[in-house]
Structure formats: structure tokens, C-alpha cells
Amino acid sequence: MTPPCSIILPAHDEADYIGACLGHILAQDHRGPAEVIVIANGCSDDTAARARAQQPGFAARGWQLRVEELAQGGKIGALNHGDACAGPGIRLYLDADIRMGPRLLSGLVRVLDADEPRYAGGRLVVAPARSAVSRAYARFWQKLPFVAQGVTGAGLFAVNEAGRARWGAFPQIISDDTFARLQFAEAERFLVDEPYEWPLVEGFSPLVRVRRRQDMGVAEIARLFPDLPSRQGHVRPGKGELLRLAAADPLGFATYAAVALAVRMGRNRQEWARGR
């Protein structure tokens, strides 16, 4: 029997994105039981109303779409609230701006239908950017081994029931996806070769802010959970790999390196930054 799947979807002021995100969930070829829990947290727009407008479509498939509203914003609180609402089985944690390829959910469920703890994700594809800088950065970043061959967890990750038992509530940290991924050894992490579209911020300064926050999140986990970083696996490319990638895309490499240098030069600045 196919295990049930709960999709936990935190959403803060995502009115422009929630409809497409839910529409792509509804278009999945998965035929097993599923529920979607949208946690609209601290919203000042009509995210919750737009999500509820999709309920008839989910009901027609025999899936439940539940919309929870929290007065207080914050992704970690929304994740923990969603976990408290969810039933047993597989958990898929999804950002509200993600668009899943139509076979991704069924692929994740197949991989996670196991007794031993497992973590899984899809093949990340950066959504087309308007900014030339963002396009160049994305083109190079997507070819790095961690993104091209690994399970990044950026915007989307899933665990089976045994895997979710590895930790309790999500702690108040910046990088929930890194925290979840590092609960698992490399051999327990599975890449499903089906795409999902992940948006990137537009322009040089926003890229620097996002990259700085990502680095802060990784450093925070190393500080608070010093046993976890040893499970990172192949994250940084070797010198030979980097030279090969740079030779293949000099402009992409220059853009990526400029962002990294700007982050390092301003490493003590702590602006808040969203992923887009």
C-alpha cells in the first residue's frame, strides 16, 4: 500500500505565488493518499484566501487541502504548526514559490516507501531570471557538484516517517533545509531525477544578501549542532573541478566569484534576505 503523504507549505505574503504552487501539486501524477497543509503566517495579503480557492480541485482528487492561519510570521513556527497538523507517513516540506514537475511527488513517495530512515529531494532547476547578473550566477551555480549531483533541499525536501523521527520540533534557526538534510548521512539521501523550479533573486545586491544569509545559516548550524557538518559530503568543488567549470563559463564564474567576494568583504553585516 502506498504510504500517505503530507505536504507542509509555509506561506508568508505569497499571494502572487501560492496559486501556481498549489496548481503544480494538483497536477502531480501521484495516485496515493495525500494532504496539503498551507500555513499562512503573519500575512498582510490574501494568501490564505487564494489557497482556499483551490480546495474544490483538491477535493475532486480525494486529497485534502487544509489552510491554517497564524497571526505571527516566521517560517519555523509555521513548519512546526504544520507538523502538528499532519498525519503519519511521508512529509514533504515545500516553499510557496516552488513549482514541482508533474512526476516529482510520485518519485519521492517511491523512494521514501522504506522502513529505514530516508531523505529525498528533486532536481533543482533555477527559474528563468530577468536580470543578466542573476542569469549568469544561476548558470554557474547550477553546475556546482552540490547542486548538479546532490540533494540540496533548497525549497523542497521530503522524509519518510522513520526519517522524521530523527529530530523533534524544528529549532529556531536560519536554515531549516540544511538542518534537516544533515540529520542524514549521504547514503541516506536520495535524488529523484524529476525537476522542480526554484526562483532566484534579481540583481547583484540581492544575490549578495541571499548568499550572505545562506552562509550565516550554515555557520549557525555548525555552532549550535557541531556534530552535523561532518555529514555535509561533497559540497565544495575541488580546484580542478572549479577550473574546469570556470573555463566552460568564464562570465558565470566571474559573477559567482564577485558575489562570493562581496559576501566575504561584508561578512559581519546581517541583513534579512528572502530567497527572491
Residue whose entry in the numeric block shows the C-alpha cell 500500500: 1
**Pick the residue with more confidence: 55 or 236?**
55
Structure confidence at residue 237 (pLDDT): 78
**pLDDT band for position 106 (cuts 50, 70, 90):** very high
Q: Is the pLDDT of residue 273 over 60?
A: no
Please name which of 4, 14, 143, 131 lies closest in space to residue 73, comparing C-alpha atoms: 14
pLDDT of residue 240: 87
CB-based contact 51:11 (threshold 8 Å): yes
Q: Is the dihedral of CA 84, 85, 90, 96 positive or negative?
A: negative
Over range 100-128, report the average pLDDT. 97
Give the H/E segment covering residue 220. Answer: helix 204-224
Q: Identify whether the C-beta of residue 156 lies closer than 8 Å to the C-beta of residue 252.
A: no
- The per-residue pLDDT for 1 is 83
CA–CA dist 208, 211 (Å, integer): 5
The length of the chain is: 276
Least confident window among 13-27, 77-91, 140-154: 140-154
Edge-to-edge order in the sheet of strand 99-100: 64-70, 34-41, 5-11, 90-94, 156-159, 119-126, 189-198, 99-100
pTM for the full predicted model: 0.93
Residues 6 or more apart from 155 whose CB is under 8 A from it? 94, 95, 97, 98, 124, 177, 196, 198, 275
